[in-house]
Amino acid sequence: MQIKKHPILGEKFTEEITFYFNEKPLKAMKGQTVAAALMRNGIRKFGVSRKLFKARGLYCANGRCTSCYVTINGLDHVLSCSTLVEDGMNVHSNESDPDVGGIYN
């Protein structure tokens, strides 16, 4: 659901890139955040809550609410609303708490 030509701001993005969500290739515009890149492809469920595994997605878009966590290039719990999408980026939905004994410790 990309707005091709904004009624006030006109065209803003020019370069199309490819990223991967749960291994599936998707198109996005360079300059968009990961959250927007997912939503333009109709994906609004970014993951599940930590305890009851309820669907979660973009809520505040400002980096405060942490509802939009995804895993980016292997790093868990990244704010998709505050991270720019990049060509070839690997994004995975957030299905649980990070493995604290994992590779980043």
Partner 1 sequence: MKTDLLIIGAGPAGINAALTADAAGAEVILVDESLQPGGQLRQQTQLFSNLPKNKKKTRGTSLNNHLVESLNASNVKVLSNHAMVGSYLNGNIGVTDGFKTFEIHAKKYILATGAQEEGKIFPGWTLPGVMTAGAAQILINRELVLPGKNAVIVGSNDFAFEVIKQLRICGVSIKAVVEDKDQLQSEKQDLLSDLGNITFLTNSTIELASGSGEVEHVSIRTPSGIKELEADFICISNGFTPILEPFEVMNCKFTYKEILGGWLPAYNMNFQTTNSNCYLAGSAAGITTLGPILLTGEIAAWSVLEELEFISPREAHNQKKECWEELMTLENNNVFQKRTEIIADSLLQDNWNPKSYFTELQGGQIHG
First and final C-alpha spacing in the chain = 39
Q: Is residue 82 near partner 1 by the rule CB under 8 A?
A: yes
Q: Is residue 8 near partner 1 by the rule CB under 8 A?
A: yes
Residue with tokens 């939905």: 93
Q: Which is nearer to partner 1, 65 or 97 (CB)?
A: 65
Query: In terms of C-beta density within 10 A (0-12 exposed, 13-18 middle, 19 or more buried), how is residue 51 classed?
Result: exposed
Q: Is residue 2 near partner 1 by the rule CB under 8 A?
A: yes
Q: Is residue 58 near partner 1 by the rule CB under 8 A?
A: yes
Question: How many whole angstroms separate alpha carbon 19 and alpha carbon 27?
Answer: 6
Of 14-22, 58-66, 96-104, the segment contacting partner 1 by CB under 8 A is 58-66
Residues 27-56, interacting with partner 1 (CB under 8 A): 29, 32-33, 35-36, 39-40, 44-46, 49, 54-56
Question: How many whole angstroms separate alpha carbon 82 and alpha carbon 23?
Answer: 21
Q: Is residue 77 near partner 1 by the rule CB under 8 A?
A: no
